[in-house]
Chain A
Amino acid sequence: MPKDNGIGASPKRREDVRFLTGAGNYTDDINVNGQAHVHFLRADVAHATINSIDTSAAEAMPGVVKIFTGADFAEVGGIPCGWGVTDRHGNPQQEPRHPIIAHDTIRHVGEIVAAVVAGTLEQARDAAEAIELDLSDKPAVVNMAAALAEDAPKVHEDLTSNLCYDWVFGNPDDDAVQAAFDSAAHVTTLELVNNRLVANPMEPRVAIGDYSRATDEHTLYTTSQNPHVIRLLMCAFVLGLPEHKVRVIAPDVGGGFGSKIFHYAEEAFCTFAAKACGRAVKWTSTRAEAFISDAHGRDHVTKIELALDADNNFTALRTNTMANMGAYLSTFSTSVPSYLHGTLMAGNYKTPIVQVNVKTVFTNTVPVDAYRGAGRPEATYQLERVIDKAARELGADPIALRRQNFITEFPYETPVALTYDTGDYAATMDKLEQVADVAGFAARRAESEKNGKLRGFGINCYIEACGIAPSNIVGMLGARAGLYDAATVRVNATGSISVMVGAHSHGQGHETSFPQVVADMIGIDESMVDIVHGDTGRVPFGMGTYGSRSIAVCGSAMVRATEKIISKAKKIAAHLMEASDADIELKDGQFTVAGTDKSVAWGDVCLTAYVPHNYPLEELEPGLEETAFYDPANFTYPAGAYACEVEVDPDTGKVSIERFAAADDFGNIINPMIVDGQVHGGLGQGIGQALLENAAYDEDGQLLSASFMDYAMPRADDVPFYQVDHSCQTPCTHNPLGVKGCGEAGAIGSPPAVVNAVIDALQSGGKNVAHIDMPLSPARVWAAMNG
C-alpha cells in the first residue's frame, strides 16, 4: 500500500495550484514602481573591432534615460569563471576577461555592444536602432580544429592561442596506456560529435535591478537557479558591492536545466544601471536573444578507443575530446569537459585503465556551459556508443557484454578518481529487461517489418555523479566555491514550520517534497511545513540547484537542522514531563517518556519554547530555530539502464521512438511521482538531443538555428509514453536520507539508447552503418543508409 504522507508518498504538488490558475510569480510578472526598460544592442557579427559607437542620435530619442557602452564598465570586473582547471603540464587554464559590455572587440554574435535604458521597452528598442556602430570585421573561428591550427585567428589577442587548456585525467602515462592497447585482443574506435544544444527553458531570462537611495541597498530580481551564487559572484568579482547591501531574489523560475546557474552580464548590468539611472531597470529576454546569449551546452568532438581481451573484458579506454568553450568562460564552463566528464569515463564498468584527454577551445560563438547532465551525458554517450560498436564488431550480445564488465563490488575506486559507494548494476539491467520487454522485441520487429519499417532495439547503462563534494576536494580540483548547502528550520510558536533552504525549485517540486521530509521526521502533517527559497534576504547561504544536488545536499542540511530542532524540543519536553532527555521519544508529533504514559504534544513544546514560563532558562535558550550547513562526504552515484525501440522509415530516414524504458537506481525516494516526472523530462530532452536539436553555426559565426522555427525542440508527437521504474534502490551510504538525486539521469542516459537503436534498425535492414552523429534527422539517416 503506497504511503499517503511523509517520505515515500506522492502527495500532489502544492505549487501546482498557483501555476494552474495563472497566479505564479515569475520574474517578468514583477514590475517595480518607476522602472525603466533596457534593450541590449547585440552584435550581429561574430568577430570585429569596435572603432567607435555614436550614441548621440539615440540619446535624443523619446524616453531615453541613458545609454551605456563598454566604456561605462571599464572600471568594474569581468564576469568570473568559477572553476580553474590545471592543464597536463601544471599550468592554469587561459582565462580571458569577460566584459559586461564589449569594449574594444566583439567576440560572438549576441554579445552586448550597447545598452539603451528608456521609459518603455519600445522606446529603448527604437533608440537602439539609431546607434551608429563603426566596426572592422575580423575573421571568425567557429570550428574547433580550425581554431587550434597554428595560424588561426585568435579570439583573444592577449592569449597565446585559442586553447583554454589541454588536460589529461586518469592514467597520464601514454606509454602504459598504449601498451594496454597494443596487447589487446580487440580495439574498437569511434569518432563522434556530441551536438551543441540550447537549454531553452520555456521562460526566457529576466533581470530587474532596483536600488534604494534611502538604504543604499540593491535588489536584483533574476531568473536564477542559485541566487546566493549570483550575489557572491556579482558583488565580489564584478561590481565590488558589499553583499549585505545586495539582495537577490529568484521567484518562480520557469525551468533552468543549467542555463540559469550562471552569472550573466544582464544581471550585473541591471544592478549597476539601476543606481546609475536612479530608477529600477528591467530586462526581459526575447527568445531570439536567449538563443544568442544563454550559455549553450555540450559541443564535444571525441575519438574514443576501447580495448578488450580475448574474453571480451574491457582492458583499457582512451578518449580524446575537443570541447567548445565559446568566446568567453561562463561560470562553470571549464569544469564540464574536465572533472564532470573525465570522472565519469569509467561508467558502470571495471575497466582498469582509463585515460581522458581534453582540449578546450575558444571560438567566436556563444559561451558553452553546463546543460542538464553537464559532462556526464558527454561521457555516457561516447562510452555507451563505443561499447555498442564493440559488441557489434565482436558479435557479442550488447547486454551480455555490459553485464560481463559491470562493477559488482562496492565501494569501488575507479581509475578516474571516484569512489562509488553503492550500486547494483545487474539489478537495474534485470529490471530493464523486464520493463522493456526484451523478450517481446522479435515479435515487434516482425510486425514493423510487415509494415515496411526497420525496427531497432538499443540499450545503454549510465552512471552519474551528483551533489559534487566534498568542498575541500573540489577545491583541490579547481572549484572556486564550496559545494555544501544550508537550511534553517524555523518552528513557530504554534508549531508550524518554515524551512529556509539554499536549494532553488524551478520545476523540481521542492515545495512539496522537502516538507515531506521534515513532517515525516517530526510526525506532523505536511501542511504544517512550508519551505522558503529563492531570496538571499530570507534564506541562509546556499549554493542552489543544479547537478541533481537538491535533496542529496540541501535535503541533508534540512535533516541535520531538523535533528537539532528535535534534540532541543526533546529537552523542553523532558523539562515539561520532569523526565530525563534520554528517555524522551518523538512519534507522530507526540513526545513521550519511554515506558510511561506521559506525553506532551509537538505544539505544546513549541509554544513553551516561545513562551518560556515553565522552562529551563538557565540551561536552554528560548525559541526553536536551527540552521545546518551540510557538506557531503562524497558524490552520490545514481545509475541505471535504459532501452529504446525505434522504427526507421527506409524511404525517408525518419526515426520514430516506439518505446522507451528506464530502470533507475536513485537510492531512497522522497516523492515517487516527482521522481518519475524528473525522469520523463530528462528523457524528453535526451531524445531531443538524439533526434532533433542542433545549435548550428555557419563558418562566419552566425547561429543558423536561432529560433524555435529553426531549432527543433521536441514536441508532444516526437515522444512516446515512457516506462520508468525506480524500484531498484541501493541507498546512498553517506547522506542521512540515503538519497542520490534524479534530476539529470534521463538526459544522461537516453541519447546513446536512441542512437544504438537506430544503428540496430539499420543493421537489421542490411545497412552497414556503424555510426551517425546526432541529431539523427531524416536527412542524416537517409544519407547514411544510402551513402
Chain B
Amino acid sequence: MAKVSMTVNGKAASGDVEGRTLLSSFLREQLGLTGTHVGCDTSQCGACVVHVDGKAVKACTMLAQEAEGAEVATIEGQANADGSLNTIQQAFQDHHGLQCGFCTPGMVMSAAALLKDNPKPTEAEIRDYLEGNLCRCTGYHNIVKAIMAASGQDVSSIAAE
C-alpha cells in the first residue's frame, strides 16, 4: 500500500492504494465519486473519461499512483457553482443526448475536452473525436447534436430532436 494524493474537482484528496489500483477504482471506491463509470476492461468504452491536468484520460487506463499530485476533474465537478448544469450538460439534456445515462459522464468529459481544443467542431470532427466513447442507447444522433449545440452552432436544421 502506498499513499496517493491529488486534487479532485478542486479539493485535496488522498488515500492508500495498492500498486495495481486504477484511478477509476480510487475515484469510485475510495472517494465515492461513482459518476465515473467502468463499462469495459480494454479501454474502449470511455465511460470512465476524466480530466487529468486538463487532458481527457480514461481513468481505467491509469494507475491511481500515476495521478500523484495531479489535478483531476470528474463529472461530479462539472456543474456550475450554483449547481445548475453547465453548457455541455444542459445541451445534453436539451437535445436528449442521453438515455440510460451510463456512458454519459464519459461523453460529457470527452465533449468538454474536445471543445476546449476545438470550440466549433464540425459534425465529422465530433464523430471522429468520439471514437473512444461508446453509447449503446442513442445511436449517437443526439449526442453529436448536443455537442454541436453546446459549441454554439445552430442545430435546428438537423432532423428531429
Contacts and interface: CB of A to CB of B under 8 A. Distances in A.
Given A29-B34, A286-B41, A253 B138 contact: no
Interface in B7-57: 18, 20, 28, 33-42, 44-45, 47
A16 B35 contact: no
Given A12-B94, A684-B140, A721-B145, A202 B99 contact: no
Nearest to A10: B161
Interface stretch (A17-25, A173-181, A600-608): A17-25
Contacts of A201: 100, 102, 136
A589 B159 CA distance: 36
Interface of B: 18, 20, 28, 33-42, 44-45, 47, 74-76, 78-79, 85, 89, 92-94, 96, 98-105, 108, 123-124, 126-128, 130-131, 133-145, 158-161
B101 to A, nearest CB: 3
6 contacts: A22-B34, A254-B102, A672-B161, A684-B140, A684-B141, A709-B42
B39 A507 contact: no
B100 A254 contact: yes
A449 B20 CA distance: 54
Closest 4 CB pairs of A and B: A22-B35, A684-B139, A19-B101, A254-B102
Nearest to B159: A723
A680 B100 contact: no
A709 B75 contact: no
B144 A716 contact: yes
A200 interface: yes
Classify the interface of chain B: helix, strand, loop or mixed: loop
A610 interface: no
A715 B131 contact: yes
Nearest to A24: B101
Nearest to B86: A20
Interface in A235-251: none
A12 B98 CA distance: 11
B139 A20 contact: no
A10 B161 CA distance: 9
A721 B101 contact: no
Interface residues of A, number: 61
Interface in A193-215: 200-204
A508 B99 contact: yes
B45 A708 contact: yes
A301 interface: no
B130 A716 contact: yes
A33 B147 CA distance: 40
A463 to B, nearest CB: 21
B153 to A, nearest CB: 13
A254 B101 contact: yes
A200 B124 CA distance: 25
Contacts of A448: none
A681 to B, nearest CB: 5
A746 B139 contact: yes
A676 B99 CA distance: 12
A21 B136 contact: no
A722 B139 contact: yes
A577 to B, nearest CB: 42
A673 B95 CA distance: 8
Given A20-B92, A26-B37, A257 B136 contact: yes
Contacts of A684: 135-136, 138-141
A23 B131 contact: no
Contacts of B102: 24, 26, 201-203, 254-255
